[in-house]
């Protein structure tokens, strides 16, 4: 049985542009426990494939890790924004691509202990390419990687981003089931 923890109080510590930090007291059986939370509106990422079965990945500098990381094209949601259309927007902005085939794969929780963030993941194919439109605070390099090679990059840990690793392995597993 999972014990439900009812929130008793919630204190806002910090409200920024993309996250909110709260410290909450919750009831666990007869005890009161402290929970530290980071709240985020959530995000969406898209595993998009070219007609040559290359997956489209983006490389960008990620400030917390001071590292260039390879990821699926992705973006954050505005409050209550629909993730279906947000995924199409991010794919168009970062890669300049519009898909004919666009399917929902599921939702990922990137860090469950303290972070309330849900990342929705889509599969896209039959792409039409146009212009890219990056946000002011992003600089992105677009890579087209043969899918087998991308799976290898997850296995050898060259791809470290959780949503990207999960997305690539989900698609690889689905293909193996066929």
Site residues (CB under 5 A) for Mg ion?
75
**Coil, strand, or helix at residue 142?**
strand
Q: Least distance (Å) from Mg ion to the CB of residue 10?
A: 30
Instruction: For the CB of residue 134, give the shortest distance to Mg ion in the complex, in Å.
Output: 9
Q: Closest separation between CB of residue 87 and Mg ion, Å?
A: 11
Q: In the complex with Mg ion, which residue's Cβ is closer, 22 or 163?
A: 163
- Cβ neighbours of 106 (radius 10 Å): 11
Q: What is the separation, in whole angstroms, between the first and last Cα of the chain?
A: 36
Nearer to Mg ion, 25 or 60 (CB): 60
Shorter beta-carbon distance to Mg ion: residue 50 or 60: 60
Contact 146, 152 (CB under 8 A): no
Structure tokens at 54: 């290359």
* Count of Cβ atoms closer than 10 Å to residue 169 Cβ: 15
SS (H, E, C) 80-106: CCCHHHHHHHHHHHHHCEEEEEEEEEE
Residue with the closest Cβ to Mg ion?
Answer: 75
Nearest to Mg ion of 75, 87 (CB atom): 75
Task: Give yes or no for a contact between 173 and 105, defined as CB atoms under 8 angstroms apart.
Answer: no
**Which one, 17 or 31, has the nearer CB to Mg ion?**
17
> Closest separation between CB of residue 40 and Mg ion, Å?
14
Closest approach, Cβ 60 to Mg ion, in A, equals: 7
């Amino acid at each position: 049985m999972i014990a439900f923890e009812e929130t008793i109080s919630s204190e806002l510590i910090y409200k920024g542009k993309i996250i909110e930090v709260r410290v909450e007291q919750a009831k666990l059986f007869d005890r009161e426990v402290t929970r530290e939370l980071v709240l985020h509106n959530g995000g969406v990422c898209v595993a998009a494939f070219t007609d040559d079965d290359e997956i489209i990945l983006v490389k960008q500098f990620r400030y917390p890790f001071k590292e260039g990381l390879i990821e699926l094209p992705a973006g954050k949601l505005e409050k209550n924004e629909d993730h279906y259309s947000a995924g199409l927007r991010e794919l168009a902005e970062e890669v300049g691509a519009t898909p004919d085939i666009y399917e929902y794969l599921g939702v990922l929780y990137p860090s469950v202990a303290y972070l309330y963030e849900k990342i929705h993941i889509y599969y896209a194919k039959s792409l039409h390419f146009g212009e890219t439109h990056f946000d002011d605070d992003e600089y992105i390099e677009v890579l087209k990687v043969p899918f087998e090679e991308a799976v290898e990059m997850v296995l050898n840990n060259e791809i470290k981003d959780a949503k990207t690793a999960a997305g690539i392995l989900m698609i690889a597993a689905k293909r193996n089931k066929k």
